[in-house]
Amino acid sequence: MHTRTLGQGLEVSAIGLGCMGISSNYGPTAGTRGDMITLLRHAVERGVTMFDTAEAYGPYVNEELVGEALKPLRAEVQIATKFGWQIENGKSVGLNSRPEQIRNVAESSLRRLKTETIDLFYQHRVDPNVPIEEVAGTVGMLIQEGKVRHFGLSEASISTVRRAHDVFPVTALQSEYSLWTRDPEAQVLTTLAELGIGFVAFSPLGRGYLTGTVNSKTRFAEGDIRATIPRFSEENRAANQTLIDQIARLAHEKGASPGQIALAWLLAQHPWIVPIPGTRHISRLQENSDATRVPLSADELAELDTLAQRMGVHGDRYDDALASYVDRS
């Protein structure tokens, strides 16, 4: 797999691995802990070097799993994790990005990840009660101390990104971006290009919808976050099916899968965009990593753009509770 460079010279695989789903938010896992460790190590064999986790996933168990799996391969990979939630009794109960909290999370994450340095440390969600300048300054000190290599933000507004970047250089902004979530295109991508900041796209496969494996008849397991997301209501899944049908048609013509078409479209947008699809299955991991080999012509890209814009997308990407944590300053 070829590599891409985010801000501040951080070089990573063109497609990373979002690790959240291997232990949380998508219902019970079918495999064992050993199966997930095998999956993570197989990803490295496939050329994946960027692994994305967070203390809030589980909480804690995802970092522990990633740390155990990647410890023997630590020199070959970059590990990104996140701070910013107040976790009590095993649940995220609000935001907390106070400087002392950031330091505590860094120390705890280092232990769970079995490493001496976090490659990319994101603020998971912007805390309106803590000036972003304090957050950037604190992470900057952690970088000076060698505990962190790079500073990132997640779901942050352009105003917040600029303010943070003025204090300490931001390496990457992470937000949702895909054929059916085009929000970053209005202002975010232009600003990142101006500032030299990379973009990490989570849910690049639309939480599975763009792979064609989810339709209006799908029933989500208990604990699957999609059951709470308006875009995944039965009515909205049916309304969005035309987009999936067209992606599937193009995939068939090119001898690819719908998911590969969705990832190839994203890779074609800018050379500093890195998608991080998640999966629990080695076959899907292989499919996703091979998306770098699926070329899309200018006409095919334009066709997908036109179709997505004409069809629109039915349903919000978050429910009201989750939407309240997205920075709109």
Residues 6+ apart with CB under 8 A from 52: 16, 17, 18, 19, 20, 80, 81, 174, 200, 202, 276
Q: How far apart, in whole angstroms, are the C-alpha atoms of residue 170 and residue 269?
A: 21
Q: What angle do CA 259, 287, 40 make, to 5 degrees?
A: 115
Question: Which residues have CB under 8 Å from 300's CB, separation 6+?
Answer: 250
**H or E stretch covering 83:** strand 78-83
| Burial (0-12, 13-18, 19+ Cβ within 10 Å), 306 | exposed
Beta-bridge partners for 173: 153, 199
Q: Which residues are catalytic?
A: 57
25: left (phi over 0), alpha (psi -120 to 50) or beta: left
Place of tokens 């990832």: 263
DSSP state of 180: T
- Please list, in sequence order, all residues whose beta carbon lies within 8 angstroms of the beta carbon of residue 296, skipping any fewer than 6 positions away: 261, 264, 265, 268, 304
Q: Report CA 198 to chain centroid distance, whole Å.
A: 13
Instruction: Answer for the pair 173, 143: CB distance below 8 angstroms, yes or no.
Output: no
